[in-house]
Amino acid sequence: MTPNSRRVAVAGPAGRIDCTVDEAAAPSAGIAIVAHPHPLFGGHRDNKVVQTLGRTLHALGYTVWLPDFRGVRESEGIHDDGQGEVDDLAAVLKQAQNTSVEQGKLTEQPIVLAGFSFGSMVVTRLATRLAAAHRPAYRLILVGTATSKWTVDPVPVDTLVIHGENDEVVPLSTVFDWARPQELPVVVIPGADHFFHRKLTLIKRLVRQAWGQPEPGL
């Protein structure tokens, strides 16, 4: 992510969860966790969409945690089709919150959950869990939401949903079918495929705009 990124091992339910952490400058805007695409198809935290989301949220003032899900590279355990991965993210969030307290930051920092493809589904399930515990996330960002592959939970109305017009993995129509009953807007990037080749700067711009922070010079 940045030259100041550090590696952190989180004790997860299936063993060590290997993470990259980029600390926010004081004062921190909160904690952001970014979830990567499908582990069985090469997904990991160094994915370009994941890195774009992480760098953008860090620039917006968040301490950003990028975990590798169970079974990916140096994270222990085996892939669990999105079930145990929710527990993984919950463990990372708990560690992030404990670390913030140790650093003397606010105990109830705003939480941003962002995910790409498979990671988007996992993020919605963690958000549902947090809401049920009366500790809802501040904001969600879903990119290439995997609505044709898994059951994706309903999300708050201010969730930023970004999808490619020409997504060959998750057809845009399935995202609309998921979003329509929620009356949830979907931001469509013209000409973009599932991996947003040559469209990463647009993702960055859309996230900044959602936070009321347009690109410098615009």
Number of domains in the chain: 1
Three-state SS at 38: coil
Q: What is the pLDDT of residue 218?
A: 52
Res 90: pLDDT: 96
Does residue 202 lie within any of the structural domains?
Answer: yes
- Distance of CA 39 to CAs 19, 118, 199, Å? 15, 8, 23
pLDDT of residue 107: 60
pLDDT at 28: 87
Report phi then psi at 62, rounded to 5.
-95, 145
Q: What confidence tens digit (pLDDT) does each residue in 15-47 have? A: 999 999 999 987 889 999 999 999 888 878 999
Q: State how far the Cα of 132 lies from the Cα of 23, in Å rounded to an integer.
A: 28
Domain boundaries, position 94: 6-210
The predicted pLDDT at position 200 comes to 97
Q: Mean pLDDT per 10-residue run, the chain (218 residues)?
A: 82 93 89 93 90 97 95 89 92 91 70 97 97 96 95 96 97 98 98 96 97 76
Q: What is the pTM of this model?
A: 0.94
Report pLDDT for 42: 80
Could you tell me the CATH number of the domain that includes residue 170? Answer: 3.40.50.1820
Using alpha carbons, select from 66, 86, 52, 70 the residue that is nearest to residue 23. Answer: 66
Phi and psi at 12, nearest 5°, equal: -105, 175
Q: How far, in Å, CA of 168 to CA of 117, rounded?
A: 12
Question: 215 in a domain, yes or no?
Answer: no
Q: Is residue 217 part of a domain?
A: no
| Other beta carbons within 10 Å of 11 | 11
Decide if 196 is inside a domain: yes
Give residue 105's pLDDT.
64
Domain for residue 1, yes or no?
no
Structural domain includes residue 150:
yes
Question: Is 16 a domain residue?
Answer: yes
Q: Is residue 216 part of a domain?
A: no
For strand 30-35 and strand 62-67, is the pairing parallel, antiparallel, or unpaired? Answer: parallel
> Where do we find the tokens 């057809």?
171
What pLDDT score was predicted for residue 27? 81
pLDDT at 137: 97
First-residue to last-residue Cα distance in the chain: 24
Tokens of 202: 């647009």
